[in-house]
Amino acid sequence: MPDTLTKLAYQTFQQGKQAFGYTHKTLINRLREVVSPVEPGSTSKIPASTLSLLKQRLDELTEVDWQDAEAGVYPASLLFDNPWDDFFKYYPMLVFDTPSVWERSKKKQYQDFGADVDTDGYPSYYVQNFHHQTDGYLSDMSANLYDLQVELLFNGAADPMRRRILAPLKRHLDNLTGNPKVLDVACGTGRTLKMIRDTLPQASPYGVDLSPTYLRKANELLSQEPGTLPQLIQANAEALPYLDNYFEATVSVFLFHELPADVRQTVINECYRVTKPGGVFIICDSIQKSDNPEFAPMMDNFPSVFHEPYYRHYSTDDMQSRLESAGFHSVEVSNHFMSKYWVAKKG
Ligand SMILES: C[S@@+](CC[C@H](N)C(=O)[O-])C[C@H]1O[C@@H](n2cnc3c(N)ncnc32)[C@H](O)[C@@H]1O
């Protein structure tokens, strides 16, 4: 397909996802006003100028994503990769589950798990209904709904944000021979691992996460297509089950805002330990307050609307200092849309 046509197709695809996200949220919010209204004043109103800035940032993200695909950083097919079957299959379930999410939010129930969910052995900071979601991260239903929820939250920008880690990762690994090992810490349902495999087929991908059901979902996704099946391990990122200096690259997407401050440092220290000297560690997470003061009201609303208990601290945390205190150096920081990136070197 000529480039201009592919670009047009990609822009249309992203606009479709944006429209789906806006429409879903508008309808669900209207329904909530009738069925389970939130207390007035519990969140601040977002000015129209902020929403238009947000739209501009989203368009910029789409453009830079397209440019990377056009430059061959990753295959253009990645731009259109979407778990459609799951989306159609699980959208009705997500809608039917929404009233229980509202109920949990209204009653401030943050540790509400079904009788069949085994919460033993997990750190207490983890045993919560992050995003008010049913069963937290600990059921198959939660794993089935997760990608759809994130797509709706970010109006289709979740994968474009994850793809921002690929250019620095590729720049680093392209200089190496053999099969460089890449670890995704808190790999969730495996979307980043799939992107890494499609972009760097020579790499040996590894994934670690605390949730057995999310790992099962990742395995389902990653075994659908040919390519190296990443080694997936259930483990706490605070004690990664790997030897020192094992990985040429370590990445982590959307994890650190969900960790208490001290755990954030422990996990960064662990990522340092398992990364080889000369290796790279790349983080993608939420933007922080100092990046976009205009988005501060949204960042203030986020922890209560989506039950993110550690987000407030994260939003002003000095991640660069944490990386440097672990031993990383030459930390490069950048922002795209609602996300922030740290690319740090070891040794
Ligand atoms: C917001 S999700 C992000 C998942 C995935 N990286 C993505 O891009 O969608 C957070 C993930 O971190 C995992 N997680 C949270 N705390 C963890 C810990 N201490 N060790 C390992 N995984 C953890 C959760 O199980 C969940 O899959």
Q: List per-block mean pLDDT (blocks of 10 residues) for the chain, which spans 347 residues.
A: 84 93 90 79 80 94 96 96 93 94 89 92 96 94 96 94 98 93 98 97 97 98 93 98 98 98 98 98 97 88 85 96 98 97 97
**pTM beyond 0.85, yes or no:** yes
How many angstroms is it from 5 CA to the middle of ligand 1? Answer: 36
- Tell me, rounded to whole angstroms, the distance of Cα 344 from its chain centroid: 19
How many angstroms is it from 7 CA to the middle of ligand 1? Answer: 32
CATH of the domain at 104: 3.40.50.150
- CB-count exposure of residue 235 (10 Å: 0-12, 13-18, 19+): middle
Q: Which helix (H) or strand (E) holds 155?
A: none
List the residue whose alpha carbon is closest to atom 27 of ligand 1: 188
How many angstroms is it from 216 CA to the middle of ligand 1? Answer: 14
> By C-alpha distance, which of 226, 221, 341, 208 is closest to 267?
208
Q: Is the CB of 192 under 6 A from ligand 1?
A: yes
**314: domain range?**
1-347
In the chain, % helix, strand, coil (3-state, to 5) comes to 50, 15, 35
- Atom nearest to 137 CA in ligand 1: 25
* Predicted pLDDT at 216: 98
How many angstroms is it from 137 CA to the middle of ligand 1? Answer: 8
* Predicted pLDDT at 202: 95
Q: Is the CB of 238 under 6 A from ligand 1?
A: yes
Reported as half-sphere exposure (CB side, CA atoms, 13 A), residue 88 has a value of 3
Q: What is each CA distance from 242 to 49, 175, 206, 208, in whole angstroms?
A: 47, 24, 11, 10
How many angstroms is it from 186 CA to the middle of ligand 1? Answer: 4
Q: Is the CB of 254 under 6 A from ligand 1?
A: yes
Reported as half-sphere exposure (CB side, CA atoms, 13 A), residue 142 has a value of 22
Q: Is the CB of 210 under 6 A from ligand 1?
A: yes
List the residue whose alpha carbon is closest to atom 13 of ligand 1: 186
Q: Is the CB of 258 under 6 A from ligand 1?
A: yes
Residue linked to tokens 């540790």: 111
* Predicted pLDDT at 46: 83
List the residue whose alpha carbon is closest to atom 17 of ligand 1: 210
Contact between 247 and 183 (Cβ < 8 Å)? yes
* Predicted pLDDT at 165: 98
Q: Is the CB of 143 under 6 A from ligand 1?
A: no
What the block records as the tokens of 273 is 């330990």
Our mutation pick for probing the ligand 1 site, out of 117, 126, 142, 209, counting the most ligand atoms within 8 A of Cβ, is 209
Residue linked to tokens 């109006």: 155
Q: Is the CB of 253 under 6 A from ligand 1?
A: yes
Number of domains in the chain: 1
List the residue whose alpha carbon is closest to atom 4 of ligand 1: 188
- Tell me, rounded to whole angstroms, the distance of Cα 63 from its chain centroid: 20
* Predicted pLDDT at 1: 53
Q: What is each CA distance from 276 to 23, 66, 187, 266, in whole angstroms?
A: 46, 31, 20, 18
* Predicted pLDDT at 3: 87
